[in-house]
Amino acid sequence: MLKGKKILLCVTGGIASYKSPAICSLLRKNEAEVKVIMTENATKFVTPLTFQTMSNNVCHVEMFNQLFNMDVEHISLAKWADVIVIAPATANVIGKFANGIADDMLTTVLMASRSPVMIAPGMNTFMLNSDANKDNMETLKKRGVIILDTATDVLACNDYGSGKMLEPAEIVEEIDFLLTTKDLSGKNFVITAGPTMEPLDPVRYLTNHSSGKMGYALAKCAKKRGASVTLISGPTSLNPPKVDKFVSVKTTRDMFDAVGEFFDESDVLIKAAAPADYRPKKYSEEKIKKTAKNDLNILEMEKNPDIARHYGSLKKDQIIVGFAAESTNIYEYAKQKLEKKNFDMIVVNNIKREGAGFGTDTNIVSIIDKDKVDDLEIMSKTDLANEILDRVKKLMS
Ligand SMILES: Cc1cc2nc3c(=O)[nH]c(=O)nc-3n(C[C@H](O)[C@H](O)[C@H](O)COP(=O)(O)O)c2cc1C
């Protein structure tokens, strides 16, 4: 979503400036255009040459060295940017920006800017919490400047506390969030993700290979596009994305109940989870011992509720998207599932193909609706999530 976006990265003289080239690099990897301005003091920490190389553009430091083209540089830079990001932002630059001081290239561009400005502060805890800095940040917030949180950790000065600049990936996420068109705003999405876990005894359980990556990518993208998102997730090793509600469940029955809680209010239900179809019939309160008697046939199974089928049968105006992982008769099984479960669309992957299915960052799927089958190329789970959301949006309209 950052493709082609114009980002003006402003780097000031804080110790976290050593991380700013990584921000530049990540933005470029996401196909954004980046220009960089540094304060004179920032060049004591990192060189302009680094940013020039990483951004593939001239790095601006000097106010009176406007030799690059015939424009007045600070005005043209300010007009150029879709967003201005100050990372790290020193207490000094925050103070100057809040009080209208424009005594170098960076602060003059800020004065001339009409684009959104995002600030990633990085400083010692006492500086962060000083009255002057708090007032300055409050003033900027009131003017609509976006001020990111800081992390709490051991700081460069060896103190432990708040004031650590967010990591480059987190800052890039925030930029992406800000610049993504909110074309799904006002819509309520319920998304399920991950496997479920069916306990056998206090030690053992049955589960499957679902990593949750596809469902999490869908939740993240829907949220970025302005939807209100409830993510119902089985156990995964992923960090929960920023969504409106995150509901953690273990078993298929838990997931069934959680979907029931949010289904009526939803506009869209996307079932990207892989809930277990069966569970052990009996849960043993004590660990099952390895004895000759238990060696065979200890696993008696019973059926779990079919979440997709149940809520498909209760569907009113909702759009329901299902997923299927198949290894044979892919289209046939997927079409049967589409009809039986009253889905509007089913995303089916052939788990035997390399680059598709569980745990990977890419997927190769076919998307089937009532009218047609589309075989898609291999793509990242994020791109696939946006493709699915585009189709859901079409169905809603
Ligand atoms: C080693 C070192 C690390 C510093 N780290 C920070 C910092 O993390 N945050 C901050 O606000 N100031 C920090 N300072 C102080 C700023 O460099 C100083 O306030 C300077 O005037 C900022 O200039 P600028 O805002 O024009 O870049 C540091 C100074 C030194 C010498």
Domain identity same for 388 and 267: yes
Return the residue whose CA atom lies nearest to atom 20 of ligand 1.
13
240 part of a folded domain: yes
Return the residue whose CA atom lies nearest to atom 6 of ligand 1.
14
Q: How far apart are CA 144 and CA 117, in angstroms?
A: 8
Domain identity same for 97 and 213: no
Which of 138, 162, 179 lies at the terminal end of a domain, its last residue?
Answer: 179
Which of 179, 206, 231 lies at the terminal end of a domain, its last residue?
Answer: 179
Q: Atom of ligand 1 at shortest distance to CA of 12?
A: 27
Over residues 161-177, the pLDDT tens digits come to 899 999 999 999 999 99
Mean pLDDT rounded to a whole number for the chain:
92
Domain identity same for 166 and 201: no
Return the residue whose CA atom lies nearest to atom 17 of ligand 1.
13
Flag the least confident range among 6-15, 118-127, 343-352, 387-396.
Answer: 343-352
133 part of a folded domain: yes
Over residues 20-67, the pLDDT tens digits come to 999 999 999 999 999 999 999 999 999 999 999 999 999 999 988 765
Domain identity same for 280 and 353: yes
118 part of a folded domain: yes
Number of domains in the chain: 2
Domain that holds residue 299: 188-396
What does the pLDDT read at residue 29?
96
Rounded percentage of the chain residues whose pLDDT exceeds 90: 80
Domain identity same for 153 and 225: no
Whether 295 has a pLDDT exceeding 90, the answer reads no
Whether 107 has a pLDDT exceeding 60, the answer reads yes
Read off the pLDDT of each residue in 357-382 and give the average, rounded to a whole number. 86
243 part of a folded domain: yes
Q: What is the CATH number of the domain that holds 332?
A: 3.40.50.10300
Does the beta carbon of 14 sit less than 6 angstroms from any atom of ligand 1? yes
Q: Residue 6 — pLDDT band, cuts 50, 70, 90?
A: very high
Over residues 267-290, the pLDDT tens digits come to 999 999 999 999 999 999 999 887
Does the beta carbon of 127 sit less than 6 angstroms from any atom of ligand 1? yes
Domain identity same for 254 and 154: no
196 part of a folded domain: yes
Query: What letter represents residue 364's amino acid?
Result: I
302 part of a folded domain: yes
Q: Atom of ligand 1 at shortest distance to CA of 89?
A: 11
Domain identity same for 35 and 104: yes
Q: How far is the CA of 152 from the centre of ligand 1 (A)?
A: 19
Which of 134, 154, 179 lies at the terminal end of a domain, its last residue?
Answer: 179
Q: How far is the CA of 144 from the centre of ligand 1 (A)?
A: 25
Q: Whole-prediction pTM value?
A: 0.84
User: Alpha-carbon Rg of the chain, whole angstroms?
Assistant: 26
Does the beta carbon of 123 sit less than 6 angstroms from any atom of ligand 1? yes
Rounded percentage of the chain residues whose pLDDT exceeds 70: 95
Domain identity same for 148 and 85: yes
Domain identity same for 296 and 389: yes
Read off the pLDDT of each residue in 210-227 and give the average, rounded to a whole number. 96
HSE, CB side, 13 Å, CA atoms: give it for residue 278.
7
Return the residue whose CA atom lies nearest to atom 19 of ligand 1.
92
What does the pLDDT read at residue 296?
61
Domain identity same for 173 and 193: no
Domain identity same for 290 and 227: yes
What does the pLDDT read at residue 71?
64
Q: What is the CATH number of the domain that holds 171?
A: 3.40.50.1950
Flag the least confident range among 240-254, 284-298, 362-376, 378-392.
Answer: 284-298
Whether 251 has a pLDDT exceeding 90, the answer reads yes
Domain identity same for 307 and 352: yes
| Higher-scoring residue by pLDDT: 15, 75 | 15
**Which of 45, 90, 158 for mutating ligand 1's site (highest number of atoms within 8 Å of CB)?**
90
Over residues 310-326, the pLDDT tens digits come to 999 999 999 999 999 87
Does the beta carbon of 42 sit less than 6 angstroms from any atom of ligand 1? yes
1 part of a folded domain: no
